[in-house]
């Protein structure tokens, strides 16, 4: 054995350094916290005055001071890092990056004799420091005094592995990398096959539209989950003067999942002519939000305008400090809102967050949800939080959404984003300038385009009711072709994903080719046209006396008429409010044109009777008659949806592949374990 | 009192001041309905507000210090011949140059960082699936079997296939009851842990501020 290695000497190599205090157990391995250099002649601080000892205290029995690896005493917190931290840090790293003390120990061990190595004594000092000599010499030895847990045993093995001598260093070239050829060993074959299956099945939907199993998400949110619908309706009730705080709390790693919903929220808010104030406690998310807006601007470019920072949207300064930054946002919102992320003045003057119509949070982690719920929402009281999260954070985020009344809804993952987009397309589709027809044309495969039933064309022709730019002004890349027709907007705006009420043609009137059967509003009051034959259904449009609508059918008892609206939707109106007449087409068109002249003055799409307060003392949010006369809001809803169906298909196929790999792999290993156990003791042991 | 004791004392005083300020400053009702209660509450809230804003400022400055430290570390590693540090420093310099000359254009973020991080997130899917396939290799007992069965039920329940409607019902129940209960337990644990960590810091048991 070579010369004895003294840890205490190594810890204090300077000759002039004072002798360190004795250290026990694994703490002897730990680097000492570097102290400040002691200046020459620096006066030493006087010692702490000692309290007088209590009489009889010294007679109390002393507890044994165990020194168990991985379990330091309470004051070990003063010695950072802890032993488990140190060992964890050294795992799977090149030897030259080891802590100096561990590397030195390894080198010292490498110089030991082969006999010592063979006898397990290559790690001299280790046994002594891992187990206190006091414990080692107690009756019963180490086992009776301290038993290591499995994790601690693994750490000991790792420590032995790290400092294990020269033999290993020579074999691995001084690095703890995989030995050559391990990648292609037989044990790697199942992993290679599994990886190939996963990658192949995820890729298939992007290669061919034939691989698109499973149902697409519905165009309406599930009634059992009112949260997403509430989120949509709250944003749909925004008005032109509203400001919405939009929090981007996700980084690039979650961009693939959450970009879709962030994009939709932004488009929806802008389409309502409200102004989003983007904020984040993640500096990268602030920059990423700007990039999403740039992508939206490419959609808006057809209108000759673009969303302007400082006019149509605002990006506020980064909030440092995590939860502390969010607290500052809630306490000092006026200050936060004054400065943009580029340090410019925004010109925004707010007193508090309560002036926000809503707070929309897009969170990658449940912790972000918790921070916002605790630091922001609980401080603003009346303003509601709308949230979106990824699948991974959903279980914890859903708990907050269910428990806090301030959080009124939660949208989860890409499938909800698809439904949100469908709903948006459905409700704004007739307003989109030319996009609707473009989407229809592209939705039908060229070979089958001529074979479409005539009612499709008829419905498309009556879709645009407002004065909008012609379709030719639309850029073709906005809605690119899709490999399948299933995903794109259908030719007719779907009132609901649920089965429509069965309509029967009323027998009262029969139409001739020149005439048309209509219902004419006779009520002196403003009447409501609803999505279905019930007063519980959503209101699609308002109508006044004299308005005419084409009659399509009626419900079973004839109390409701199904009518065609000028915007392409189909609605229901109560029988007692109207009269059924037969008029000429010319008269009908004249009535339609006079009625449509009123439409631009009112925001008449999807007015839900919504009773969730958006803000204290702000009843104006119940008003939904928002004029839509500009160009940007219509264009901002045009999206490239060509990748939606392949992505959903990839999710389905990827999940199937994961199920396959997990099931097959575990069956294989379970059978192997069963065979081994039968060979060992002849039976299965649970 | 040594330096360590002094630091602990300062931490204790600042912590208690902040807590009292937050508690009392947000509740003017504690001081009665008199005209001066609001003003008193506002004054009591001021120290906590100032301290929290100071913390936010310090954290913001620490980011700059962290960047500088990162650069110094990699310059030192480069001096020792670490070639990857040269790549890092070159990337840093190029990104800075790009952002300055292109007036804050963040297209590099979309072109480089987002694809890379998204790809790493996608690798997680492969890793989890392969790890899930080896559960019975590591633990071939009834608990491993139960774990695998639950994983398969939840995965199958998430598939949009009508044929799997019964499995979806089981999956929904699992997500609604056991998973929700577990999530709430985790949140309770986090809350208790936060309280304990705060108390330990106040009492000087945890002295992370010593660096």
pLDDT tens by residue, A473-498: 333 333 333 333 223 233 333 333 33
User: Are A632 and A300 spatial neighbours (Cβ–Cβ below 8 Å)?
Assistant: yes
**Pairing, β A243-249 against β A407-412:** unpaired
Does the pLDDT value for residue A361 go beyond 50?
A: yes
Q: Which of A659, A661, A675 to mutate to test the interface with B (most CBs of B within 10 A)?
A: A659
Which of A543, A596, A595 lies closest to A573, judged by CA? A543
A110 compared with A165, residue with greater pLDDT? A110
Judge whether residue A579 has pLDDT over 80. yes
**Across the interface, do B132 and A665 touch by the CB < 8 Å criterion?**
yes
Of A253, A283, A324, the CB nearest to B56: A324
The answer for A232, left when phi > 0, alpha when psi is -120 to 50, beta otherwise, is alpha
Contact A306, A300 (CB under 8 A): yes
pLDDT, position A429: 64
Please report residues of A whose CB lies closer than 8 A to that of B104: 342
Reply yes or no on whether the pLDDT at A447 is more than 50: no
- pLDDT > 70 in chain A, percent: 54
Residues 6+ apart with CB under 8 A from A529: A539, A540, A541, A542, A543, A549, A563, A565, A571, A572, A573
Shortest Cα distance, chain B CAs vs residue A375, angstroms? 12
Across the interface, which of B1, B49, B133 has its CB nearest the CB of A665?
Answer: B133
Q: What is the strand order of the sheet A578-584 is part of?
A: A539-543, A527-530, A570-574, A560-564, A548-554, A515-521, A578-584
Q: Is the dihedral of CA A465, A470, A472, A474 positive or negative?
A: negative
| pLDDT band at residue A243 using 50, 70 and 90 as cut-offs | very high
Structure confidence at residue A636 (pLDDT): 77
Work out the minimum CA distance from B143 to partner chain A, whole angstroms.
8
Cβ of B114 within 8 Å of Cβ of A215? The answer is no
What residue in A sits closest to B57 (Cα-Cα)?
A320
Q: Residues A244, A142: one domain?
A: no
Q: What is the model's pLDDT at position A525?
A: 64
| Together in a domain, A97 and A154 | yes
Buried b (16+ CB within 10 A) or exposed e, A497-533: beeebebeebeeeeeeeebbbbbbbeeeeebbbbbbb
Q: What is the pLDDT of residues A124-160, one digit of tens each?
A: 455 555 555 555 565 555 554 556 667 777 777 777 7
What radius of gyration, in Å, describes the C-alpha atoms of chain B? 27
- The closest of A485, A570, A562, A479 to A519, measured between CA atoms, is A562
Domain-located, residue A378? yes
Please state which of the ranges A151-155, A235-239, B174-178, B182-186 shows the lowest mean pLDDT.
A151-155
Return the CATH number at A597: 2.30.30.40
Quick one: average pLDDT of A275-288? Answer: 91
Q: E strands along chain B, which residues?
A: none
If one compares A84 and A620, the residue with the highest pLDDT of the two is A84
The pLDDT of residue B71 is 94
Closest CA to A135 of A194, A89, A67: A67
Q: Residue A316's pLDDT band (boundaries 50, 70, 90)?
A: very high
Mean pLDDT (chain A) is 68
* Model confidence at A208: pLDDT above 90: no
Q: How many CB pairs under 8 A join A and B?
A: 175
Q: Is A286 inside any structural domain?
A: yes
ipTM score: 0.84
Residue A659 has what pLDDT?
95
Domain map (residue ranges) of chain B: 1-105, 106-138, 139-211
Give the model's pLDDT for residue A543. Answer: 77
Q: A548-554 and A515-521: which strand pairing?
A: antiparallel
Q: Collect all residues of chain B within an 8 Å Cβ-Cβ radius of residue A198.
A: 125-126, 129
Distance to chain B for A22, nearest Cα, Å: 20
Looking at the DSSP assignment, which residues form a beta bridge with residue A309?
A313
Pick among A72, A224, A252, A667 to test the B interface (most B CBs inside 10 A): A252
**Residue B53: closest CA among chain A residues belongs to which residue?**
A328
User: In this predicted structure, what is the pLDDT of residue A567?
Assistant: 63
User: CA nearest A192 in B: which residue?
Assistant: B130
Residue B175 structure tokens: 């997500």
Neighbours of A140 (CB within 10 A): 8
Question: pLDDT class for A427, splitting at 50, 70, 90?
Answer: confident
What range does the domain containing A589 cover?
515-609
Q: What is the dihedral of CA B198, B203, B207, B209, to 10 degrees?
A: 70
Span A381-404, average pLDDT = 86
Q: Is pLDDT above 60 for A33? A: no
Q: Are B12 and B204 in contact (CB under 8 A)?
A: yes
Min CA distance, B200 vs chain A (Å)?
Answer: 11
3-state secondary structure of A245: strand
A291 contacts on B by Cβ (under 8 Å): 106-107, 109-110
The Cα–Cα gap between B24 and B46 comes to 11
Gyration radius of chain A's alpha carbons: 36
Count of residues making up chain A: 686
Choose among B125, B128, B140: nearest Cβ to A673.
Answer: B140
**Which of B60, B63, B135 is closest, CB to CB, to A666?**
B135
Residue A429: asked if its preceding bond is cis (omega within 30°), the reply is: no
Distance from CA of B159 to the nearest CA of A (A): 6
pLDDT category at B6 given cuts 50, 70, 90 is confident
Looking at the predicted structure, is the pLDDT value of residue A513 above 70?
Answer: no
* Chain A residues within an 8 Å CB radius of B52: 324, 327-328, 331
Report whether A573 contacts A561 (CB < 8 A): yes
Residue A405, pLDDT score? 80
The answer to whether the beta carbons of residues A169 and A66 sit under 8 Å apart is: no
Dihedral sign for Cα A119, A120, A122, A123, please. negative
Express each pLDDT in A47-71 by its tens digit: 444 545 545 544 545 444 444 444 4
Taking residues A425-431, report their average pLDDT: 70
Do B60 and A321 lie within an 8 Å CB cutoff? Answer: yes
pLDDT over threshold 60, residue A621: no
Q: What's the structural domain count of chain A?
A: 4
Statement to judge: residues A239 and A294 lie in one domain: yes
Contact across the interface for A284 and B183, Cβ inside 8 Å: no
The percent of residues in chain B predicted with pLDDT above 90, rounded, is 26
**Region of poorest pLDDT, from A14-23, A282-291, A417-426:** A14-23
In this structure, are A524 and A401 located in the same domain? no
- With contacts defined as CB-CB under 8 Å, which chain B residues touch A190? 133
Q: Is the sign of the CA dihedral A169, A174, A177, A178 positive or negative?
A: negative
pLDDT score, position A21: 52
Mutation pick from B126, B153, B156 vs chain A, by most beta carbons of A within 10 Å, is B126
In a domain, A481, yes or no: no
Of A215, A399, A657, the CB nearest to B180: A399
pLDDT one-digit tens code per residue, A188-205: 788 889 999 999 999 998
Q: Please list every residue in chain B whose beta carbon sits closer than 8 Å to the beta carbon of residue A328.
A: 52-53, 56
A328/B52 CB distance under 8 A? yes
- In this prediction, residue A387 carries a pLDDT of 92
Confidence grade of residue A458 (pLDDT, cut at 50, 70, 90): very low
- Among A184-188, A561-565, B185-189, name the one with the lowest average pLDDT: A184-188
Q: Which residue would you say has higher pLDDT here, B72 or A5?
A: B72
Residue A75, pLDDT above cutoff 70? no
Q: Residue B60: which of A194, A199, A320 has the nearest Cβ?
A: A320
- A32 pLDDT band, cuts 50/70/90, is low
- Chain A hits for B125, CB-CB cut-off 8 Å, are 198, 654, 658
Contacts of B63 in chain A (CB under 8 A): 283, 320
Residues of A in contact with B141 (CB under 8 A): 685-686
Residues of A in contact with B160 (CB under 8 A): 214-217, 415, 648, 652
pLDDT category, A432, cuts 50, 70, 90? low
Question: What DSSP designation does A447 have?
Answer: G
| Chain A nearest C-alpha distance from B35 (Å) | 22
**How far is B118 from chain A, CA to nearest CA, in Å?**
5
A145, A199: one domain: no
Average pLDDT over residues A171-175: 47
A92 burial (CB, 10 Å; 0-12 / 13-18 / 19+) is: exposed
**CB < 8 Å to B146, chain A:** none
Backbone phi and psi for residue A517, each to the nearest 5 degrees, phi listed first: -85, 130
Judge if A189 and A142 occupy the same domain.
no
Q: What angle do CA A130, A133, A139 make, to 5 degrees?
A: 115
Asked if A252 and B179 come within 8 Å (Cβ–Cβ), the reply is: no
Confidence at A113, pLDDT banded by 50, 70, 90: low
Q: Check whether B62 has a pLDDT greater than 50.
A: yes
Closest chain B residue to the Cα of A286, Cα to Cα: B106
* Contact across the interface for B141 and A399, Cβ inside 8 Å: no
Cβ–Cβ of A198/B129 closer than 8 Å? yes
Residue A29 pLDDT more than 90? no
Yes or no, beta carbons of B132 and A324 under 8 Å apart: no
Residue A582, beta-bridge partner list: A517
A320-329, A408-417, A480-489, A581-590: least confident range: A480-489
Q: Name the residue facing A656 among B104, B128, B159 (closest C-beta).
A: B159
User: For A77, which of B2, B129, B205 is closest by C-beta distance?
Assistant: B205
Q: What pLDDT sits at residue A389?
A: 93
Q: Would the pLDDT of A8 be above 80? A: no
Measure in Å the smallest separation between the Cα of A662 and chain B Cα atoms: 4
B1 and A662 within 8 Å at the Cβ level: the answer is no
């Amino acid at each position: 054995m070579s010369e004895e290695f003294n840890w205490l000497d190594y810890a204090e190599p300077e000759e002039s350094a004072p002798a360190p205090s004795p250290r026990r157990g694994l703490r002897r391995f730990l680097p000492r916290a570097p102290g400040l250099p002691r200046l020459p002649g620096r006066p030493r601080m006087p010692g702490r005055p000692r309290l007088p000892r209590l009489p009889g205290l010294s007679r109390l029995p002393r507890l044994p001071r165990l020194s168990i690896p991985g379990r330091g005493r309470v004051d070990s917190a003063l010695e950072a890092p802890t032993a488990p931290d140190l060992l964890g840090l050294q795992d799977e790293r090149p030897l030259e990056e080891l802590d100096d003390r561990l590397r030195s120990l390894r080198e010292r061990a490498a110089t030991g004799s082969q006999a010592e190595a063979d006898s397990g004594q290559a790690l001299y000092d280790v046994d002594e420091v891992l187990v206190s000599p006091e414990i080692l010499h107690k009756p019963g030895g180490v086992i009776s005094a301290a038993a290591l847990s499995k994790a601690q045993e693994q750490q000991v093995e790792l420590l032995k592995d790290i400092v294990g001598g020269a033999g290993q260093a020579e074999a691995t070239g001084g690095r703890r990398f995989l030995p050559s050829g391990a990648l292609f060993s037989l044990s790697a074959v199942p992993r290679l096959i599994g990886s190939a299956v996963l990658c192949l099945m995820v890729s298939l939907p992007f290669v061919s539209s034939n691989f698109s199993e499973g149902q697409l998400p519905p165009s309406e949110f599930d009634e059992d989950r009112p949260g997403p619908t509430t989120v949509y309706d709250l944003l749909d009730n925004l008005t032109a003067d509203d400001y919405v705080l939009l929090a981007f709390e996700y980084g690039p790693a979650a961009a693939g999942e959450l970009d879709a919903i962030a994009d939709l929220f932004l488009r929806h808010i802008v389409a309502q002519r409200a102004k989003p104030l983007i904020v984040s406690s993640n500096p990268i998310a602030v920059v990423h939000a700007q990039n999403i807006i740039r992508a939206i601007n490419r959609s808006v470019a057809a209108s000759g305008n673009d969303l302007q920072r400082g006019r149509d949207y605002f990006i506020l300064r980064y909030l440092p400090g995590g939860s502390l930054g969010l607290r500052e946002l809630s306490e000092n919102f006026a200050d936060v809102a004054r400065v943009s992320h580029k340090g410019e003045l925004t010109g925004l003057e707010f007193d508090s967050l309560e002036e926000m119509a809503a707070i929309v949070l897009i969170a990658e982690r449940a912790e972000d949800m918790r921070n916002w719920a605790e630091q922001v929402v609980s401080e603003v009281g009346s303003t509601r939080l709308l949230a979106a999260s990824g699948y991974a954070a959903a279980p914890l985020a859903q708990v907050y959404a269910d428990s806090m009344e301030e959080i009124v809804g939660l949208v989860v993952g890409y499938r909800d984003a698809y439904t949100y987009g469908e709903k948006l397309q459905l409700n704004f589709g007739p307003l989109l300038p030319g996009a609707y027809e473009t989407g229809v044309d592209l939705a039908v495969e060229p070979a089958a385009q001529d074979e479409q039933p005539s009612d499709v064309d008829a419905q498309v022709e009556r879709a645009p009711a407002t004065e909008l730019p012609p379709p030719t002004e639309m850029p073709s890349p906005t809605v690119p072709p899709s490999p399948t027709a299933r995903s794109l907007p259908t030719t007719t705006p779907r009132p609901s994903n649920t089965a429509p009420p069965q309509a029967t043609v009323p027998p009262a009137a029969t139409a001739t080719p020149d005439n048309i059967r209509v219902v004419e509003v006779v009520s002196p009051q403003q009447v409501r046209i609803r999505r279905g034959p019930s007063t519980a259904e959503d209101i699609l449009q308002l109508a006044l006396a004299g308005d005419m609508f084409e009659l399509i059918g009626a419900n079973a008892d004839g109390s409701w008429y199904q009518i065609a609206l000028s915007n392409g939707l189909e609605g229901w109106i109560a029988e007692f409010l109207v009269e059924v007449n037969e008029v000429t087409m010319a008269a009908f068109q004249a009535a339609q044109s006079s009625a449509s002249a009123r439409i631009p003055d009112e925001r008449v799409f999807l007015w839900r009777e919504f009773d969730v307060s958006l803000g204290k003392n702000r009843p104006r949010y119940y008003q939904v008659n928002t004029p839509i006369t500009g160009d940007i809001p219509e264009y901002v809803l045009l999206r490239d949806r060509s990748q939606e169906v392949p992505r959903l298909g990839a999710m389905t196929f990827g999940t199937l592949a994961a199920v396959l790999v997990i099931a097959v792999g575990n069956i294989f290993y379970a059978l192997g374990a069963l065979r081994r156990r039968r060979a060992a003791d002849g039976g299965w042991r649970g | 009192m040594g330096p360590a004791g002094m630091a602990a004392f300062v931490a204790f005083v600042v912590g208690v001041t902040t807590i009292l300020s937050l508690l009392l400053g947000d509740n003017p009702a504690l001081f009665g309905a008199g005209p001066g209660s609001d003003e008193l509450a506002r004054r009591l809230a001021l120290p906590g507000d100032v301290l929290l804003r100071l913390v936010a400022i310090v954290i913001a400055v620490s980011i700059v210090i962290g960047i500088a430290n990162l650069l110094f570390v990699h310059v030192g590693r480069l001096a020792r011949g670490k070639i990857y540090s040269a790549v890092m420093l070159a990337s840093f310099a190029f990104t800075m140059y790009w952002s300055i000359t292109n007036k804050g254009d963040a297209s590099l973020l979309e072109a480089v960082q987002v694809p890379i991080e998204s790809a790493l997130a996608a690798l997680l899917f492969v890793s989890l699936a392969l790890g899930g396939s080896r559960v019975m290799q590591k633990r071939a007992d009834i608990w491993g079997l139960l774990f695998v069965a639950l994983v398969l039920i939840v995965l199958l329940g998430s598939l949009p296939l009508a044929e799997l409607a019964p499995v979806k019902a089981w999956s929904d129940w699992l997500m609604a009851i056991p998973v929700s209960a577990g999530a709430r337990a985790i949140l309770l644990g986090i809350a208790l842990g936060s309280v304990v960590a705060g108390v330990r810091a106040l009492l000087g048991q945890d002295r992370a501020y010593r660096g």
